[in-house]
Structure 1
Amino acid sequence: MNRRKLLQTMATAASATAIAGIMPSSAFASQTAATEGGARALKGLQRIDTHQHIVPPFYAKWLDSRGLNAGGLPIPTWSAEGALDLMDSNGIQTGILSVSTPGVHLGNDAEARIKAKEVNEFCAELVDKHPGRFGFFATLTLPDVAGAIEQAEYALTKLKADGVVLLANVRGTYLGTPEWDPLLEVLNRHKTTVFVHPSELPAAPVEGIPPYAADFLLDTTRAALNLAKRGCLERYPDLKIILAHAGGFVPYAAERMARVCSEDGSTAGGLKRLRQFYFDTALSSSPYALSALLAFAKPENITFGSDWPYANKERSSYFTGLLDSFGFSTAQREAVNRTNALKLFPRLA
């Protein structure tokens, strides 16, 4: 590469950072400094965590009886005390809880409906016991659409769920598939916030590389592209859809993927669709990941995420520290950590 091309490349990268209105304070923050930053948690900051998991003991026991894990990760031990410890250590006021992969549908519709109801009622009771500290995304029963609609109506109206969690794919069927449209219609009517969490790809993993390491990111990307390509964001405009882990590969590869999901085949049309998503920062707050996310996403569409307890306290706090060491303005920092989420969950204001 000659000097002129090198300077052009550097200018392009600088422009992307300027567009996002940010500049990393240190592109190579050490793990020690980042961990300490997370522990300090910026005095007075009250984060809203849109990517925090719950593993009710009866649910963990059920999965263990089937020999299941979460994309190569063991099912962690969860407790309300452990959650509050993580939150207090990292300046988190409220955690919006969700069940991770593999969800509750293991092949039997009736069993899935029972388990979803049990999980959602457990979450609702926890929210009542700890006012202001927890919310929850209701667990549904896809690919059982009728059961998913029934549980969505119950959780959103009776249990006062803050939204729903949907896996990116269920045994190879991805969000955006036409047969699941009746559920999206119901969720749109309720103006629901939908948290999209990755699952295992419908393919064998590469030997030695667990699904959570890379496949999860592609899984989320596939779901986002399918939802966008099928026009779901326009047909269901009152859905607010949060993509886990900064949207997988969406921000980084958006320009490449845009024409695939554009109604008119244009790059601009595809980018407009993809920018309608929300993105959380769970495990995605390194200076290089944040730079890509902030250069692509709408500033008001980024929320904080911890991924606890699948990311243990040390790991979660490390990424929180990276977020804290990033060169946000005061307004940007408050938006990512709190005010953007308040628009999705106004009851927490």
Structure 2
Amino acid sequence: MPIETATLIDVHAHVRLEATNGAAGVHGPEHGVDENGLPWYRVGNYRLSGVRHANSPFTDPELRLQRMEKAGIDFQVLSASPLNYFHHIDVPSAVSFCRRHNDALAELVNRYPGKLGGLAALPMQDPMAAREELERSVSELGLWGAATGTEFAGEPLHSPAFDPLYEAFVKLDVPLFLHPAPAGIDGPPGDPALKRFDLDVIIGFAAQETIAVATLIFGGVLERHPKLDVWISHGGGAAAFTAGRLAQAGMKRPWATQAMKKDGAFEEAMARLWFDTHLNDDRALALLTQIVGPERLVFGTNFAGWDQPEDGHHGAVSPTLADNARRLLRKMPAPIQAKNQIEGGTP
């Protein structure tokens, strides 16, 4: 079913591509089986053991489609695994990986155009190289935008060095998906307390997502690029829960811009962002919906990941989520696109 008519569109689904093995040079990625028959996957000095790579929905498109059908998912938008962002390695290796990944992803989604779309990987440690790869991936390969981590070697999300990249997203009319990576994969190790109980992917991800929301708003990214569309995984982490404190900071702290000092300014800016619904809790989703509105939510599952429920997704799914995804991805049916353009609405 093409995305224009799909009733359930999953925008939070990662893929690992066999064609990228060794694409980042000494950093990998690579995979195999140990002496006990357990699968492993290596990125840099990080080794993931006991999680199947080959013959899994992450790597086998036929298994993916079977699992999508079982879960009632009509269409999926694929992005690189967080293990494969490579935002902290040397620039040539990162560029090499992203080019090979995006070529392979374009080939995959072109084989299944009625079921799969794709987002480019970008070498964010070099903003201009990232811009060039975005332009190539969208204009030449036909990918629908890009997905990156939230932290990079060199510059933070709000750095003016990224303005040319954000301008390219606007010019190409495609969105940016932000999703964290575990600390220490190919960069700084992070807080050692997060190594307990897998907290790096439970609390650590939520912290990175919340920081990304605050950085985009307080750092003026949304002010400088009013037509930029960014969506953030896992409902933006703890952004909804901490929105009151963030809003108060925007009004009271000495670094805050004049635009943040009026009542409701932070909430208004937060409602400019998009968020996927993969929150594992209807109460959290209700709070996020109250703050940003239902029109800024898109359906996501972390497909085939540890936190996707056995029945495919959490709770009831609003039919408006599919239309939201189409608006975000610029895939609305042609008559509706034309109507929006005439009326000046979001394409």
1:343 corresponds to which residue?
327
Distance (Å, rounded) in 1 between the aligned partners of 2:146 and 2:323: 20
- SS in structure 2 at match of 1:135: strand
Distance (Å, rounded) in 1 between the aligned partners of 2:141 and 2:126: 21
Q: Are residues 1:209 and 2:204 paired?
A: no
2:275 counterpart (279, 287, 291): 279
- SS in structure 1 at match of 2:86: coil
Q: Which amino acid is the alignment partner of residue 148 of structure 2?
A: L
1:68 counterpart (46, 59, 74): 46
Q: Are residues 1:323 and 2:284 paired?
A: no
- SS in structure 2 at match of 1:139: coil
Cα distance change on mapping 1:231 and 1:154 into 2, 3 Å: same
1:256 corresponds to which residue?
245
2:69 counterpart (68, 88, 93): 88
1:59 counterpart (20, 35, 40): 20
| Deviation digits for residues 268-315 of structure 1 (CA, Å, limit 9, x no counterpart) | 111111111101012x14222222122212211101001123337xx3
TM-score, normalised by the number of residues in structure 2: 0.77
Distance (Å, rounded) in 1 between the aligned partners of 2:304 and 2:50: 11
Contact 1:138 1:152 in 2 (8 A): yes
Q: Between 83-92 and 240-249, report the one with greater CA deviation.
A: 83-92
Q: Are residues 1:269 and 2:275 paired?
A: no
1:32 corresponds to which residue?
none
Name the % identity: 24
2:216 counterpart (208, 213, 227): 227
Q: Between 293-302 and 149-158, report the one with greater CA deviation.
A: 293-302
Distance (Å, rounded) in 2 between the aligned partners of 1:106 and 1:80: 29
- SS in structure 2 at match of 1:92: coil
- SS in structure 2 at match of 1:84: helix
Cα distance change on mapping 1:95 and 1:250 into 2, 3 Å: same
- SS in structure 1 at match of 2:147: strand
Once the two structures are TM-superposed, the CA of residue 84 in structure 1 deviates from its matched residue by: 0.9
| Deviation digits for residues 180-203 of structure 1 (CA, Å, limit 9, x no counterpart) | 222112212222211010123552
Contact 2:182 2:204 in 1 (8 A): yes
| Deviation digits for residues 145-173 of structure 1 (CA, Å, limit 9, x no counterpart) | 12101101100111111111121112484
| Deviation digits for residues 189-218 of structure 1 (CA, Å, limit 9, x no counterpart) | 222211010123552231413210111011
Distance (Å, rounded) in 1 between the aligned partners of 2:130 and 2:206: 25
TM-score, normalised by the number of residues in structure 1: 0.77
Once the two structures are TM-superposed, the CA of residue 178 in structure 1 deviates from its matched residue by: 2.4
| Deviation digits for residues 309-335 of structure 1 (CA, Å, limit 9, x no counterpart) | 3337xx344561x322xxx7xxxx101
Matched length: 293
1:121 counterpart (85, 100, 103): 103
Cα RMSD over matched residues? 2.5
Unpaired runs of 5+ residues, structure 1, are: 1-43
Which one scores higher on RCO, CA 8 angstroms, separation ≥ 6? 1
1:99 corresponds to which residue?
80
**Going by fraction, where is helix more abundant, 1 or 2?**
1
Once the two structures are TM-superposed, the CA of residue 59 in structure 1 deviates from its matched residue by: 3.4
Once the two structures are TM-superposed, the CA of residue 126 in structure 1 deviates from its matched residue by: 1.0
